[in-house]
Amino acid sequence: MKSSEFYTFRGYEIIDREKNVLTPSMEDYLEMIYRMCLEDSNIRMNILAKHLNVRTSSSTKIVQKLAKIGLVNYEPYSLISLTDKGMEVGKFLYERHIIIEKFLFLIGVENTTLKDTELIEHYVSPNLVIKFNQLNRFFMDNKDVLDKYNSYIKTNMENKMSADNQY
Ligand code: ZN
């Protein structure tokens, strides 16, 4: 296991343990804080709020909740930074997002990729994220299969919505 994979795995364990603690909106904040931390490890509340399209007051409330459970460092009017644990969970959330978005892209979702990712990401188990990732890698390593799949859905299945229940 590469060190970055280990990091992600720790995030996976933490989130699995704390799934009743983190709400979808807390996850969105943490994911955004992690993304912003990739550029600068100290974040201003008003800039975070701007990135999330929310008011600074609502942003402050959620960040205080994240601070309470030890994922971010934040005092009133201070800058926001991630704790070690917050870094692990944030990395997992960030990678989960990328894996799901890539999966949707590979199976041919076009205009709604980001929107669908934002909806799905909060409700999949870490195991399913691993499965998506495996399929992504399989498609990337077998481009001929991916091409075959894409031309199959273009010619046979376009806009059909009926399931034929054959297993
Ligand atoms: Zn996301």
Distance 167 CA to ligand 1 centre (A): 33
| Among the four given CATH numbers 3.30.70.790, 3.30.300.30, 3.20.20.70, 1.10.10.10, the one describing domain 9-84 | 1.10.10.10
- Output the average pLDDT for the chain: 88
Reported pTM: 0.83
pLDDT bucket at 4, cuts 50 / 70 / 90: low
- In this predicted structure, what is the pLDDT of residue 125? 87
Distance 142 CA to ligand 1 centre (A): 27
Query: Tell me: domain 89-157, CATH 1.10.645.10, correct?
Result: no
- In this predicted structure, what is the pLDDT of residue 16? 65
- In this predicted structure, what is the pLDDT of residue 94? 95
Q: Which amino acid is at 129?
A: V
Q: What is the pLDDT of residues 103-131, one digit of tens each?
A: 999 998 989 999 999 999 999 988 899 99
Structure token digits, residue 11: 């995030």
pLDDT bucket at 153, cuts 50 / 70 / 90: confident
Structure token digits, residue 62: 């959620």
Distance 97 CA to ligand 1 centre (A): 5
Distance 140 CA to ligand 1 centre (A): 22
Q: How many Cα atoms within 13 Å fall on the side-chain side of residue 67? A: 14
First to last CA, the chain: 35
Q: What is the pLDDT of residues 52-86, one digit of tens each?
A: 999 999 999 999 999 999 999 999 999 999 999 99
Distance 155 CA to ligand 1 centre (A): 32
pLDDT bucket at 165, cuts 50 / 70 / 90: low
